[in-house]
Amino acid sequence: MPSIISINGLSKTYASGFQALKTINLDIQRGEIFALLGPNGAGKTTLIGVICGIVNPSAGTVTVDGHDIVTDYRAARSLIGLVPQELTTDAFETVWDTVSFSRGLFGKPKNPAHIEKILRDLSLWDKKDNKIMTLSGGMKRRVLIAKALSHEPTVLFLDEPTAGVDVELRKDMWQVVRDLRASGVTIILTTHYIEEAEDMADRIGVISKGEIILVENKVELMRKLGKKQLTLHLQKPLDAVPAELAVHNLALADAGNELVFTYDTAAERTGVTALLSDLARLNIRFRDLQTTQSSLEDIFIGLVTDRPAASAGAAP
C-alpha cells in the first residue's frame, strides 16, 4: 500500500541546542490509524509540529501524499487537520464562527451543511452560538476537533486528544475517529492512555529520546511481545523450584508462596498442561491460580526503560 506520509532523515535541533528529533524515518500508510507512543519529551509533538508546518525541520524531508511540506506546502497542508495538545482556542468567537474560520483558512469555500454535520457529530450543535470562553474544557476540545475537520482533511493528527477528557467525550471522540477511518481518513494519534492505542490503532510506533525505536503492526506486536503468566498460590511455601520442574520456565515469588510460570501464548504448546500434571505428580498443591497477560503498557514501559524486550511483562 502506498504511504500517505513519508518521513526521510528528519531531524530537529532547537536553537537551544536540544536535539528533539534524531534522523526519523517513518512511513504512514494510507487509511490507517497510527498510534505514536512515547514518554513526555520524547519528540512526539515536535514530530507532528514539523509535519504540520509549525516547527522548521533542521534536516530531512517529509512528503504528504507526494507533496513536499516545504516546497509544496500549500498542497501538503491543505490535506492535514491538526488537533493540538494544548486547549488553544479563541475566547470571544462563537463556535460556529471559529469552525467556519478554520475552513476558510484552509482555502475551502463555505459549506454550512458540512459544518453542521461536524458540530452535530461532536454534540456541539446546541452550543454553536455560544462564545468559546463559556465552554467547559471538554467542549473546547470538541471545538478543536471540529476546527481540524472543518476543511475535510485526508490526514488527521490528534495530539493527546483525550488528555483531561471525561469518559463520555472519549467514547464520542473515538466513534468520530472510527467513522473518519471508515471514510478513508488517515489518523495519527499520540496518547498517554495506552489502552486507547491498544483499542484503536492499526500500527504502533514508539518514540523515545527523539528516535523511533519500534514500528509494528499492533496485533503482531502484542503477539511478539505479549507474554502470559500463570501464578499459582501454593498451600505450602517452597524454598526453591524443585529440580524436577527445571524444564518449565518457573520462578518463585512472595517468599515462596507463589509459583510464577511465564509462557508464550503464540507458541504451539504453552506447556500449561505439562506443568500442572508435573505439579500433581510432585504433590505440590495450590489454593488458587490466576493468569495475567502483558498489556501494551507493559510492553511500552519495557521498551522505553531500556529493558530487554523479552523480559517485558515479567514483573508481577
* Residues contributing to the site for other proteins (CB under 8 A): 14-15, 49, 52-56, 72-78, 80, 82, 84, 86, 88-93, 97, 100-109, 147
Give the nearer residue to other proteins in terms of CB position, either 111 or 270.
111
Give the nearer residue to other proteins in terms of CB position, either 70 or 276.
70
- Residue 208's DSSP bridge partners are 211
Output the smallest distance, CB 70 to other proteins, in A. 11
Output the smallest distance, CB 74 to other proteins, in A. 4
Output the smallest distance, CB 49 to other proteins, in A. 7
| Cell representation of residue 232 | 499459582
Give the nearer residue to other proteins in terms of CB position, either 30 or 248.
30
Listed in sequence order, the DSSP H helices in the chain are 44-52, 73-78, 95-105, 112-121, 137-149, 167-182, 194-200, 218-225, 272-281, 296-304
Dihedral (CA of 253, 256, 261, 262) sign: positive
Output the smallest distance, CB 46 to other proteins, in A. 8
Give the nearer residue to other proteins in terms of CB position, either 51 or 245.
51
Burial 235-272 (b: 16+ CB within 10 A, else e): eeebeeeeeebeebebebeeeebbbbbbbeeeeeeebe
Output the smallest distance, CB 32 to other proteins, in A. 21
Output the smallest distance, CB 95 to other proteins, in A. 14
- Answer for the pair 133, 88: CB distance below 8 angstroms, yes or no: no
Give the nearer residue to other proteins in terms of CB position, either 56 or 290.
56
Output the smallest distance, CB 173 to other proteins, in A. 19
- Rounded to 10 degrees, what is the CA torsion of 291, 296, 299, 303? -170
Residue whose C-alpha is closest to residue 131's, from 102, 93, 90? 93
Distance set, CA 297 to CA 40, 115, 196, 222, 252 (Å): 15, 37, 10, 11, 24
Give the nearer residue to other proteins in terms of CB position, either 49 or 210.
49
DSSP conformation class of 33: E
Give the nearer residue to other proteins in terms of CB position, either 73 or 117.
73
Give the nearer residue to other proteins in terms of CB position, either 77 or 127.
77
Output the smallest distance, CB 86 to other proteins, in A. 6
CA angle, 187 as apex, 186 and 190 as ends, to 5°? 155
Dihedral (CA of 35, 39, 43, 48) sign: positive
Indicate the SS3 state at residue 295.
Answer: coil
